[in-house]
Amino acid sequence: MSVIITLTNQKGGVGKTTTTATLITGLSLQEYKVLGIDLDPQGNLGFSLGLDIENTETIYDVFRGTANIEDVIQKTEFGDIIPSNILLSSAEIEFNRSGREYLLKEALEPVMDKYDFIIIDTPPALNILTVNAYVCSDHLIVPMVPEILSLLGVSQLKETAQTVRKFYNAKLNVLGLLLTKYNSRTNLANEVAELAGEIANQLNTSVFSAKIRSSVAVAESPAHGACVLLYAPRSKPTLDYVNFIEEVLIRCKAPSN
């Protein structure tokens, strides 16, 4: 059975998609079988990994019942990807039937035994797409930038996670909070890191020891259709992400390859 991890934060611009793409690639480089799923209608995950997200079937077609999940998986050198695009933005209105919280869980059943990890990128909102990801996940990872507003987003996420645990998925676990765009030389970054630790305690988790430093390479890599691990292997963020991925494996108690 796959270990399912969702990257989530209702605030945008926190490095969620970058972290998702890097986690998919990093685990694949360690020879794990990985499936990445883009649940964000912006389609940035597929785009940043060099996929065609417009002239193809997507997770939206799976939810509509017009495509099987196996048919929308795009193979890449570093993991398989199910893309999305702007059509998915109608999900809140279009998928309004009873049990809609289980759309993704039901769709994944045919491929659950084919992957070691399934990594899900979510929109910057606590909507039905995000709830679908939570319902089928084992773990949540919460990327956040060292800013006060980012802390507020994490704090609001707590209520949604508790609701999902109560009604849909009792095993849902917050694996950790990940600080991105981090600069240890600023007072604000250190203050927010301390506050993040307090919020993590409320979520029964902790802040990852790895903190992702800023670099222009992170911003440039999506334009080249590759994650930062491959685009800038000697950059500071790459070194930080390598440490982060090792922490993820330890916290998931994943078997070594």
pLDDT tens profile 113-129? 999 999 999 999 889 99
Q: How high does pLDDT run on average in the chain?
A: 91
Q: Pairing relation of β-strands 173-179 and 34-38?
A: unpaired
Q: What is the pLDDT of residue 255?
A: 56
More confident residue, 10 or 110: 110
* Token pair for 125: 């909102």
Q: Give pLDDT tens digits for 161-204.
A: 999 999 999 999 999 999 999 888 888 888 888 888 888 998 89
Residue 130 corresponds to which amino acid? T
Residue 208 corresponds to which amino acid? F
Q: What is the pLDDT of residue 222?
A: 82
All domains of the chain in start order, with CATH: 3-252 (3.40.50.300)
Check residue 253 and give left, alpha or beta (phi > 0: left; psi -120 to 50: alpha). Answer: left
> What is the rounded CA–CA span in Å between residue 238 and residue 74?
25
Torsion of Cα atoms, 73 then 66 then 91 then 218, to 10°: 20
Which of the residue ranges 89-98, 106-115, 122-131 would you say has the lowest mean pLDDT?
Answer: 89-98
Question: Within 13 A of 177's CA, how many CA atoms are on the CB side?
Answer: 29
Mind giving me the DSSP string for the chain?
A: --EEEEE--SSSSSSHHHHHHHHHHHHHHTT--EEEEE--TT-HHHHHTT---SSS--HHHHHHTSS-HHHHPEEETTEEEE---GGGGGHHHH--STTGGGHHHHHHGGGTTT-SEEEEE--SS-SHHHHHHHHH-SEEEEEE-SSHHHHHHHHHHHHHHHHHHHHT-TT-EEEEEEE-SB-TTSHHHHHHHHHHHHHHHHTT--B-S---B--HHHHHGGGGTS-HHHH-TTSHHHHHHHHHHHHHHHHHTPPP-
Which residue is it, tokens 């049990």?
99
Please count the other Cβ atoms lying within 10 Å of the Cβ belonging to residue 209.
Answer: 10
Partner residues linked to 5 by β-bridges: 119, 139
